[in-house]
Structure 1
């Protein structure tokens, strides 16, 4: 599957035009992680967003004996998007449960893509973030 096809399969980019997908495909870097590798570490600066193209990873909060798995991610899922908007440290660690391939977009390259696509990519990301916040708000009130 091409990088553009992988991007198009992700919720975040499903409604993005082909020329915008081409712009994004030029900025991604493919990274491979082995089972057990820590992809991002809780507390470290968030410098990029990751899209899983193959494999599985778990989102882990805490360290050592107090570690808690809070989510499992698979192909098409993405994480690290909050790093694009602020300089807060990573909220949790993400670890490869099996050999995992990711498409990585640095916050600087993605901000450039926001401009190059006249804000269409930024609006798509904001729509997904709004749905996530709404879902968390609904869960907290029920």
Structure 2
């Protein structure tokens, strides 16, 4: 299954079994975005997680200022919107397609439904989430 391989390559899902990846693969939807198209907007309600299959995106954040700062450029195999899966809060950044881009999209509702039937999936993802949090904390400490 092509979606299963893309899911396996996403850091968040790297510790899941083939069976779990197959289940998530049935829940994702492939979406295409044109160059310049806004995929998610800072401040909007977050409802989905994205895995870039092909193309490139720009991640920017205004955070109250008038001019947005580029945080990152992401490409194939990289992800954004992880927090949407966990808390469904507002988007922390805007993501725009730098070129025609294809993403696999997993809604929070589908993700939560999978976790409710397979709680071991959540346990498998905890080390990855913890590592990501430590990376962010280290970056913050380095800037202060």
TM-score (norm 2): 0.88
Q: Is the CA contact 2:12–2:129 (under 8 Å) kept in the aligned structure 1?
A: no
Return 5+ residue gaps in structure 2 as ranges.
none
TM-score (normalizing by structure 1): 0.89
- RMSD, aligned α-carbons: 1.9
Alignment match, 1:74: 75
Q: What is the CA deviation profile of residues 25-79 of structure 1, one whole-angstrom value per residue up to 9, with x for unaligned ones?
A: 1100000001111000111100111111111101111299612111111111111
Which secondary structure does the structure 1 equivalent of 2:22 belong to? Answer: helix
Q: Distance in 2 between matches of 1:65 and 1:138?
A: 27
SS at match of 2:16: coil
Q: What residue ranges of structure 1 are gaps of 5+ in the alignment? A: none
Structure 2 CA distance, aligned partners of 1:77 and 1:59? 12
Residues 22, 75 of structure 1: alpha-carbon distance in 2 compared, 3 angstrom cutoff: same
Find the counterpart in structure 2 of residue 61 from structure 1.
Answer: 61
Displacement over 6 Å in runs of 4+:
none
- Per-residue deviation, 1:126: 2.9
- The whole-number CA distance in structure 2 between the counterparts of 1:125 and 1:99 is 30
